[in-house]
């Protein structure tokens, strides 16, 4: 049985708590948050506290707090030589105070409090300072049905960067699409099959091969018409930037116009 003390009450902490609570080989012995009211609804399930001095002994202490709070919280912990881990994709492992055994337990997924998630499909990126601590993190990931991956700080930060493009930026594009639909009295639901198919295609082919659309085929008339339709200057700038990026990526696949053909023959 792996005993855990969870620190933090945000989206990641909440989803981890739910996963640990269902796991047979994990015991959440305590849940800490500096604002106790955030975890009051769980007081009948687990011991809760807002006092670091009251932290119980456990196999691992998981700091699932904001990136800016990790280093300070690790310094404030009132004990030494225990295994602590943070769940951030971007914060370096060495930002943790080395008075304790430091590590990273990074779940590569987007977490929203209102959205359920299948935790078993979430990859867990593991990083340790001392090799002997890797096994308990692997066992913790396995206990909640997750596959773990041994990575370095540089790899994890690259994963996080890629994830920002793939998830955060993509979701912002969903929001823009949603706004365009609403402003034209269209239900956003009509777009959902397209969103799902876009994600499905790259399960079996590269994003490069999956690319379609007016920028890929250099359809200047459609691009010009779209730009006239867009009212927001911010959205217009995004459209131009992404169109230019797609054109640059697929420049060798652009159709040759008749004028180019004639010049090539001469």
Averaged pLDDT, 100-127: 91
Q: Are strands 101-107 and 124-128 parallel, antiparallel or unpaired?
A: antiparallel
Averaged pLDDT, 185-200: 94
The ranges of the chain annotated as CATH 3.40.50.720 are 2-151
* Residue 108: pLDDT over 60: yes
Q: What is the pLDDT of residue 212?
A: 92
Q: What is the pLDDT of residue 252?
A: 53
Q: What is the pLDDT of residue 176?
A: 95
Q: What is the pLDDT of residue 111?
A: 86
* Residue 46: pLDDT over 60: yes
Q: How high does pLDDT run on average in the chain?
A: 91
Q: What is the pLDDT of residue 113?
A: 76
The ranges of the chain annotated as CATH 1.10.1040.20 are 157-253
* Residue 233: pLDDT over 70: yes
Averaged pLDDT, 107-134: 90
Prediction pTM value: 0.83
Q: Which CATH number fits domain 157-253: 1.20.1290.10, 1.10.3720.10, 3.50.50.60, 1.10.1040.20?
A: 1.10.1040.20
Q: What is the pLDDT of residue 2?
A: 95
pLDDT more than 70, % of the chain: 94
* Residue 87: pLDDT over 60: yes
pLDDT more than 90, % of the chain: 84
Q: What is the pLDDT of residue 253?
A: 55
Averaged pLDDT, 49-60: 95
Q: What is the pLDDT of residue 37?
A: 87
Q: What is the pLDDT of residue 29?
A: 96
Q: What is the pLDDT of residue 261?
A: 43
Confidence label for 115 from pLDDT (cuts 50, 70 and 90): confident
Domain 2-151 sits in CATH 3.40.50.720: yes
């Amino acid at each position: 049985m792996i005993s855990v003390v969870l620190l933090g009450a945000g989206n990641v902490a909440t989803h981890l708590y739910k996963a640990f609570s269902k796991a047979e080989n994990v015991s959440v012995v305590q849940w800490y948050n500096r604002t106790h009211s955030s975890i009051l609804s769980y007081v009948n399930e687990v011991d809760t506290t807002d006092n670091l001095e009251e932290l119980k002994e456990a196999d691992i202490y998981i700091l699932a707090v904001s990136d800016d709070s990790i280093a300070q919280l690790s310094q404030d912990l009132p004990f030494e030589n225990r295994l602590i881990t943070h769940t951030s994709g971007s914060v370096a492992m060495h930002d943790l105070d080395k008075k304790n055994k430091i590590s990273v337990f990074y779940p590569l997924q987007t977490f929203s409090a209102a959205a359920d998630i299948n935790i078993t499909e979430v990859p867990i990126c593991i990083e340790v300072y001392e090799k002997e601590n890797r096994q308990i993190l692997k066992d913790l990931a396995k206990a909640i049905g997750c596959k773990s991956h041994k990575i370095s700080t540089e790899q994890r930060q690259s994963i996080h960067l890629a994830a920002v493009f793939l998830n955060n930026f993509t979701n912002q594009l969903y929001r823009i699409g949603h706004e365009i639909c609403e402003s034209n009295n269209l239900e956003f639901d009509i777009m959902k099959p397209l969103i799902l198919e876009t994600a499905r295609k790259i399960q079996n082919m590269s994003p490069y091969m999956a690319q379609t659309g007016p920028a890929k085929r250099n359809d200047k008339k459609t691009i010009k018409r779209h730009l006239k339709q867009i009212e927001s200057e911010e959205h217009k700038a995004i459209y131009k930037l992404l169109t230019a990026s797609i054109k640059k990526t697929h420049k060798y696949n652009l159709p040759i116009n008749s004028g180019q053909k004639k010049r090539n023959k001469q």
